[in-house]
Amino acid sequence: MPSPSDTRRPLATLRATVLGSGSSGNALAVQWGAETLLLDCGFSAREVERRLAAAGIDPGTLGAVIVSHEHTDHIRGVRILASRRGLPVYTSRGTRVASGLDREVPEVQTIASGKTFTIGSISVTAFRTSHDAAEPLGFRFEAPCGTALGVMTDTGTVTEEARDALRGCDALAIESNHDARMLEDGPYPWFLKRRIASAEGHLSNDAAACLLAELASDRLQRVVGLHLSSTNNTARLAAASLTSALARLGHPAVVAAARQETACALMV
């Protein structure tokens, strides 16, 4: 349990902004000094640039795009954005092949679970997620000052690799896709309900809360729930679930739920 005299550090330098998250599009900007990395480009290139500018981030500072997996809500604008701005795209071999990005962007760098690579000054560690995609990944970003951000979305279960990579982060952005009861009682056809709740689907509010309880170290200051379903969840339910997991531990980290339409600053 954290104490007032813990070792938490200021978040003055690594910035992260969820530009939007949900089944209609996902993108997250990570900034260190004048460098910006984009994790997923699930809106059109024009829309990502608009959202960056609205969040006070100059699209001209983009240095690379990292792609978690090939689903459209994560790659919609990547071809145009990367081509227009000459940006390298970092993604797994499986995603590269499944998305056909190889043929359509100027440069693709292959990354893999368990490997750490650097883009500019930011160190990035990829880890395996569990999702119905070719080779999906989550990421831990670490700035030279040691501040760490963990991002994991689109995963039906939490893999061991994910648990290891997400430990000791200052901020966490983790999927909180659905309320299990709303999914069960909701309007989706049974096969879709089954897919979402499966080990290769999406993480529920309860599962996200469970994981958060496990990861709530003294360093943790900010948490945001990602990829909320507009049919099977509400921002209030997702935030309440994450908040009560922390409250049970007496942990003071601040919780928010990311929206589809609006940006959410995670670390400033």
Binding residues vs Zn ion (CB under 5 A) = 71, 73, 154
Nearer to Zn ion, 140 or 227 (CB): 227
What sign has the CA pseudo-torsion 178, 156, 66, 8?
Answer: positive
CB of 76 to Zn ion, least distance (A): 11
Nearer to Zn ion, 154 or 170 (CB): 154
Nearer to Zn ion, 69 or 79 (CB): 69
**What whole-number distance in Å separates Cα of residue 34 and Cα of residue 62?**
9
How many Cβ atoms are within 10 Å of 254's Cβ, its own excluded? 13
Nearer to Zn ion, 22 or 59 (CB): 22
Q: Which residues contact 226 (CB under 8 A, 6 or more apart)?
A: 18, 21, 26, 151, 152, 153, 173, 174, 175, 176, 258
Taking alpha carbons only, the member of 213, 205, 183, 185 closest to residue 195 is 183
Q: Which residue's CB atom is positioned nearest to Zn ion? A: 71
Nearer to Zn ion, 71 or 79 (CB): 71
CB of 43 to Zn ion, least distance (A): 12
CB of 86 to Zn ion, least distance (A): 26
CB of 69 to Zn ion, least distance (A): 6
Query: Which helix H or strand E contains 171, and what residues bound it?
Result: strand 171-175
Phi first, then psi: give them for residue 178, nearest 5 degrees. Answer: -145, 155
CB of 118 to Zn ion, least distance (A): 26
**What whole-number distance in Å separates Cα of residue 176 and Cα of residue 43?**
20
